[in-house]
Every structure is written in C-alpha cells, then in structure tokens.
C-alpha cells in the first residue's frame, strides 16, 4: 500500500508525503522565521503543529525545537527524535487521518502555499568543509593541469581530501552572486593580473547537514557516522578558477571559493533517502581501518545543472550527474573530518565537492565541460566557456520511485539484483519523486 496524503500532490512534485524535507520560512517579510516541511505546493508550519500539541512522543512532547528561527535545536536531538517527527508528520498528513484533514481552522493556520513564503537558510552554520570526493572530477582536473600520467595524486586514494570553507558567505537559493575580484596568473614578466574573475564557474555538489556533534578529541566511528547526519542539500560552491589557480599552491583554495556558496532551501533527510541507497564504488586500495565501512553506500540521486544565459528566458541543461558517482561516501567524509579529534556541531556543513560522472555530459562544472575554456558550450544561439554577468545557474536533484503493477520497484530491491533494478526503473509508470527542489543563483557584475 502506497502512503497518500489528503493534500493533492502533482506526480512531478519533489515533495510527496514520502519526502517531507525540512526548511525555514517567513510568512511575511517582517514575520519571525519558523521551521516547516514541504508537502506538495504547501509548507506545513511546524510551530503551529507543536503549539497544537500534536507532537506527543517522548522526544518532542516538551521540546521547543520548532519554535526557533532555525533547525539546529531539532538537529541536536538526534535520530530518535527525527524518526518520531517523521512518523507523526506522515500520520497527520495522510489521507486516512482526520486531525488535520477535517479541522479547517487548524489546517488554515498550519498549511501555507509555497508561493506565499520566503525561504531562508534552514540552519545556523558554524563551520563548513568542502571535500574532493569524486574520482572522475579529480581525474579530469589532474589531466588538465598535470597530464594523464600524474592525474591523481597518490594520497587521494587513501584520504578524503578537503579544505575549510567560509560559512559566512553561504547563501540561500535565489540570492545573486557578485562576480569576485582578485589576482590571477601574471603574463610573462608582468605583475599578477588584478580585476574581476575571468573564469567564474559553478560546481554541482551536495552537502551533508550535521546533526548531533561529537566531543572535542573524540572521533566519530565511520560505522556510526550516519547517526550524525540529518540529511542532504543541493550546493553550488561557486569557483573563480583563475583566482584559485594563482593562489592554491601551497595552501589550497581561499579567495577563489570564499566569495559565495549557494544552498537549496530544503533538507532531505536520510530516512527519506534510505530506499534509494546503493553500493558505493569499490575502493582500491582498501581504505585504512578508520575509513573501512561495514556497508559502504551512496544514494541514487539524479542531479542536473542548467544555465539561463544573460538576456534569454530558456534554461539549457549542461550536465546530468548522480550522487552515486562519489568515490568517498558522506559517512567516510564525516568520519575523516573527526579522526584528529575535531568536534562537529549541529548545523555544520560538509560539501561533497564537484560530482562528475564518467561521460562528458555528466561533468559537474564548466572547467571540465569546456575543458578549461578550450571547448565552448552552445546555449541557444550563444556560447559559454565560463559564466558571464547576467547568467543564472539552476541545479535540481531528485530520486524516483516507479511502480510495476501493484509492486513498487523500491520494494523489489531486496530481491532483484541492482543492474536489473537500474533497467526496470527506466520503464514508464506512475510513482513519486523524492526531490530537493532547486538551487539557483544569478551572476551580477563585480563591484567598482
């Protein structure tokens, strides 16, 4: 039996009752931020649900976590509270439950059309790290700058490489990004170039939202890491490739990354994604014991990046990738972040790095797609090697469940080999999406 909501949800919606991603919104520009979950074309106001006493389980009954301007207090409660909330909300929104369905006054207060709200960053982000976890991306970048014989440094296969980002410049989807200025490589014997970036790029990524943290000096076991992960968001870690290329030796990215990072507004929980888990790629050589997982898994999340060129209305798809291509899993990333005793806190963010697939149309950034400017992309009568002022970049991501007769393919996964499932899910059929919505930003000219 497929769970159905009393709220009509379009088959193409990213937000059926099986998803219920968390975000933070305002009803009016001057109103207080409040947590909510997405259901179809509505946001369910969790502060209203809590005030009505409908969270009556042991973990949430006396909690004020949904009367906060962000989700950090809820994240800190951990998986038992998250599961309790999910069970309660799916019951309240189900077609068979009358409490909300038949109470017009409560329903009017609790359900707000998405078109009438302003979405905000859902978490207070204390710290942010960005990994380099895609083998295809690492190889392509290495070939461009070092050649195929030395494309990936030997340490990459033993350690999830990352750098610390800048949490203060993380913004919500829809926020404009001002083209950064900085230094670039000098030409010949001249001084370094200084001015607006000439190689502004997007990076198709996802990011882990940390739930309960760990004490300083006490690493998280890789096989327990999932209990410290609340969910995932789409992320665009904008990059100024020319600034980055001049500055990154010897200490890595700095000004070429820290000018802006865009997040999608909805956090999709690991519980909602669990039915889309699949085996991660085999790692060779085997990781060191602290990174060796009993079950190493990724998630089958289809990702897409589109560009609306300046002066045009239509979006042009430039890449299609998938989270399944990650070499280092999100749990390995979290465990590695803490192995030296580093303490994580609720709301911390761990980016995956650019997610590229094996084929040219699955590369996750313009650096790869245009091969560092050598192969311009055709976009509806214009071309791009890197982003120009006025360009808008839009990411989407979703998982899809389809049905064969009365059986859901997701229910058959335990009985049919994965290659067969991959083939079957390409058939036509009714089903639902578990999606992330969109993550977008438009490039504005650099400041004078």
Let me know if 336 is a catalytic residue.
no
In 309-346, where do the E strands start and end?
Answer: 316-322
pLDDT given for residue 243 in this prediction: 98
Give yes or no for a contact between 315 and 331, defined as CB atoms under 8 angstroms apart: no
The band of 448, judged by pLDDT with boundaries at 50, 70 and 90, is confident
Query: Is the peptide bond preceding residue 250 cis, with omega within 30 degrees of 0?
Result: yes
Sequence-separated (6 or more) residues with CB below 8 Å from residue 25: 33, 34, 36, 43, 112, 117, 118, 119, 120, 265
Q: Cα 211 to the chain's mean position, in Å?
A: 15
pLDDT given for residue 402 in this prediction: 74
Residue whose C-alpha is closest to residue 78's, from 223, 270, 340: 270
pLDDT exceeds 50 at position 162:
yes
Higher pLDDT, 401 or 276: 276
Give yes or no for a contact between 46 and 150, defined as CB atoms under 8 angstroms apart: no
Give yes or no for a contact between 436 and 20, defined as CB atoms under 8 angstroms apart: no
- The sign of the torsion formed by the CA atoms of 341, 345, 348, 350 equals positive
Q: Find the Cα–Cα–Cα–Cα dihedral 212, 218, 221, 226, rounded to 10°.
A: 10
**Set 14, 137, 325, 336: catalytic member:** 137
End-to-end CA distance of the chain: 60
Q: What pLDDT digit, counting tens, does each position of 263-298 carry?
A: 999 999 999 999 999 999 999 999 999 999 999 999
Which long-range contacts does 414-422 make (Cβ < 8 Å, 24+ apart)?
A: 418/278, 418/279
Distance in angstroms (rounded) separating the CA atoms of residues 183 and 232: 34
The number of CA neighbours under 13 Å toward the Cβ of 256 is 24
% of the chain with per-residue pLDDT over 90: 91
Burial, 298: exposed, middle or buried (Cβ in 10 Å; 0-12, 13-18, 19+)? buried
Q: Is 436 helix (H, G, I), strand (E, B) or coil?
A: strand
Q: What pLDDT digit, counting tens, does each position of 46-98 carry?
A: 999 999 999 999 999 999 999 999 999 999 999 999 999 999 999 999 999 99
Domains of the chain: 22-120 (2.30.30.230), 128-444 (3.90.850.10)
Residue whose C-alpha is closest to residue 322's, from 363, 366, 365, 371: 363
Mean pLDDT value across the chain: 93
């Amino acid at each position: 039996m497929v769970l159905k909501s009393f709220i009509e949800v379009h088959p193409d919606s990213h937000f059926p009752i099986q998803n219920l991603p968390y975000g933070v919104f305002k009803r009016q520009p001057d109103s207080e931020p409040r947590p909510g979950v997405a259901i179809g074309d509505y946001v369910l106001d969790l502060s209203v649900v809590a005030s009505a006493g409908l969270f009556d389980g042991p973990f949430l009954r006396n909690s004020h976590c949904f009367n906060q301007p962000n989700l950090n207090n809820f994240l800190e409660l951990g998986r038992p509270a998250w599961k309790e909330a999910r069970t309660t909300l799916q019951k309240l929104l189900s077609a068979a439950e009358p409490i909300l369905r038949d109470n017009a006054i409560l329903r009017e207060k609790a359900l707000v059309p998405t078109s009438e709200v302003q979405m905000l960053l859902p978490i207070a982000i204390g710290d942010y790290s960005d990994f380099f976890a895609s083998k295809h991306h690492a190889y392509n970048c290495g070939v461009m700058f070092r050649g195929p014989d030395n494309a990936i440094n030997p340490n990459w296969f033993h350690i999830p490489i990352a750098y610390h980002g800048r949490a203060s410049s993380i913004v919500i989807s829809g926020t404009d990004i001002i083209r950064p200025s900085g230094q670039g490589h000098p030409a010949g014997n001249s001084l370094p170039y200084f001015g607006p970036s000439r190689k502004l790029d997007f990076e198709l990524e996802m990011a882990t939202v940390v739930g309960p943290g760990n004490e300083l000096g006490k690493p998280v076991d890789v096989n327990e890491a999932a209990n410290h992960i609340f969910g995932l968001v789409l992320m665009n870690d904008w990059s100024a490739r020319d600034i980055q290329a001049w500055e990154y030796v010897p200490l890595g990215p700095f000004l070429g990354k820290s000018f802006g990072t865009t997040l999608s507004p909805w956090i999709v929980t690991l519980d909602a994604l669990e039915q889309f888990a699949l085996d991660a790629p085999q790692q060779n050589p085997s990781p060191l014991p602290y990174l060796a997982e009993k079950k190493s898994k990724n998630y089958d999340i289809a990702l897409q990046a589109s560009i609306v060129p300046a002066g045009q209305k239509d979006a042009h798809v430039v890449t299609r990738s998938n989270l399944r291509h990650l070499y280092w899993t999100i749990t390995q990333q979290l465990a590695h972040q803490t192995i030296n005793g580093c303490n994580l806190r609720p709301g911390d963010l761990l980016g995956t790095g650019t997610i590229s697939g094996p084929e040219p149309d699955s590369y996750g950034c313009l650096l790869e797609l245009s091969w560092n400017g050598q192969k311009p992309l055709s976009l509806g009568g214009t071309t791009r090697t890197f982003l120009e002022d006025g360009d808008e970049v839009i990411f989407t991501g979703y998982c899809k469940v389809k049905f064969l007769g009365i059986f859901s393919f997701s229910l058959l996964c335990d009985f049919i080999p994965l290659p067969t499932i991959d083939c079957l899910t390409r058939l036509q059929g009714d089903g639902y999406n578990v999606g992330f919505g969109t993550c977008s930003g438009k490039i504005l000219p650099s400041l004078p």
